[in-house]
Amino acid sequence: MPHLFHELIFNTANRSVNTEGLVYQQQRLDYAALAREIELAAGALLALGLGRGERLAIYLEKRFEVVIAMFGASAAGSVFVPINPLLKAEQVAYILKDCNVRILVTSIERLNLLIPVLPECHDLHVVIVVGSAENLPVISGVYMILWQEALTMARSIHAHRCIDSDMAAILYTSGSTGKPKGVVLSHRNLVTGAKSVSQYLKNNQDDRILSVLPLSFDYGLSQLTTAFYVGATNVLMNYLLPRDIIDEVIRESINGLAAVPSLWIQLAQLKWEKAASLRYITNSGGAMPRATLDQLRRKLPNTSIFLMYGLTEAFRSTFLSPEEVDRRPDSIGKAIPNVEILVLREDGSQCAPGEPGELVHRGPLVSMGYWNDAEKTKKCFRPLPRRSGLTIPEMAVWSGDTVRMDEAGYLYFVGRRDDMIKTSGYRVSPTEIEEIIYSTECVVEAAAIGVPHPTLGQAIIVVAVPLGGVDLDSEALLLACKRHLPAFMVPSLVALRKDHLPRTPNGKIDRRSIAQELQHTFMSIGT
């Protein structure tokens, strides 16, 4: 069994040399070839001076070199930091400075965008450029080298000693202050997560898993680790249109596909008749609308659908098995293998069945905290009440999400503490309102937001994007809300937009951005 991140590939290479491990744009690497490339990369990084626990960042779209660089950093005994390729130069610079990145792997096109900000990154010593470039730019104090040239520097240098409780990766996730937070993951976190997920998805070496999500997103990275844990094939994809995903599923005989709700909403509108190879699909990153779930089940009758919940601080917490979808379509399921989920009151006591409380995650997937931020770490990572006889407290992740648990132990998402709308003395979940909007099957995206109101506390505003070709007015959506919701949950206004709603780099609807815009646009509501 692997203990370290890079052993996910090395162990499989030792037992299944010729098995196809990684595919990108019709290029293919078996596990043996992939392992050799990773060993070369590790040797090159050590030759370039990457120290134990030092950070290597990757700022690229999905391609072979991204995977090789991540696993190469791990094999060298260092830490990898995947940066979302959608981020702008200033955001990239913030990450490079925040976690003191020493080596950056990127392309010449992206490097040119970063030139104005790289002089601010004082810990950055080396930039490795993937692909060809006639001339590399000159930045004081930074050594520039092409990827292929760097690999020729590889020497038989002993890697830094590493154990499974050491840092392996730092993943940056949106923060409440607008600045991203670096979540520190150990080798144990990543390997245990891969084992747990592959267990309930029943993955095996014959699976072919498509990676369409950013590898900087824990849910996206999981597609790699799960495949490599069981010796399956991972297919990397940078898509332009949702239709391209279905084409790739058919072309590569994909068995497993993961996406977030906003992408599933778009995919559910398309034809899937020829995608007979799909054994399962998964959803995380938010609740899948009931209407979308029903559409996918009609179009993929032989495909198992796993509804899941997770947070970067603990990777994955729960899943709903496909056989429970009919009985409990609104549930986020039960804890994944080797995890316990508690529903606690503010005083730390256990909630009764049906009573809303905070979701608290305990187990080996609890990450190592936020990079260089003791204050935020203290708020999210807190000790559980001590058990009799134990003197060392156990740390758990306090998610900030409100859930309830039924008598059978199934969990139901109520709302994110930061997203909850307080109106007329009631706490209202945006998800509950959005489900009604989606159930009309007339919109492709929707978000319920609370905006300041002089008497209500907050007024509820829904912003929705109509489905293409549908003649829709806001009154029809408002009427649906009035039919299905109590008066205090009915939106004060429903606004329609032609363009897609803004998203975070991980593809989730950017509620903070919408709320800031609405505060200015709808200040006069109800006054």
pLDDT tens digits, 281-330: 999 988 888 889 999 999 999 999 999 999 999 999 999 999 999 999 89
Using left for φ > 0, alpha for ψ between -120 and 50, and beta otherwise, residue 501 falls in: beta
352-374: average pLDDT: 97
The encoded tokens of residue 163 equal: 């154990």
Question: Residue 173 — very low, low, confident or very high, per pLDDT cuts 50/70/90?
Answer: confident
Q: How far is CA 280 from CA 58, 200, 296, 432, 488, in A?
A: 30, 11, 11, 26, 39
Closest CA to 12 of 224, 184, 289, 171: 224
Global pTM reads 0.87
pLDDT tier, 178 (very low <50, low <70, confident <90, very high otherwise):
low
Mean pLDDT for the stretch of residues 18-37: 95
Q: What domains can you pick out in the chain, each with its CATH number?
A: 29-184 (3.40.50.980), 239-415 (3.40.50.12780), 419-521 (3.30.300.30)
Q: Chain-wide mean pLDDT for the chain?
A: 92
Integer Cα distance of 45 and 72 in angstroms: 8
Look at the alpha carbons of 291, 297, 303, 304 in this order and tell me if their dihedral is positive or negative. positive
pLDDT (tens digit, 9 = 90+) per residue, 328-357? Answer: 989 999 999 999 999 999 989 999 999 999
Q: Which residues have CB under 8 Å from 389's CB, separation 6+?
A: none
**3-state class (DSSP) for residue 290:** helix
**Helix H or strand E segment including 490:** none
Q: Residue 527: what pLDDT? A: 44
Angle between helices 31-47 and 64-76 in degrees, nearest 10: 60
Sheet strand arrangement including 167-173: 143-146, 126-130, 101-107, 55-59, 79-82, 167-173, 181-186
Distance CA 253, CA 222 (A): 20
Greatest Cα pair distance, the chain, in angstroms, is 73
What local confidence, expressed as pLDDT, does residue 525 receive?
46
pLDDT recorded at residue 162: 94
Q: Which residues fall within 8 angstroms of residue 352, CB to CB, at 6 or more apart? A: none
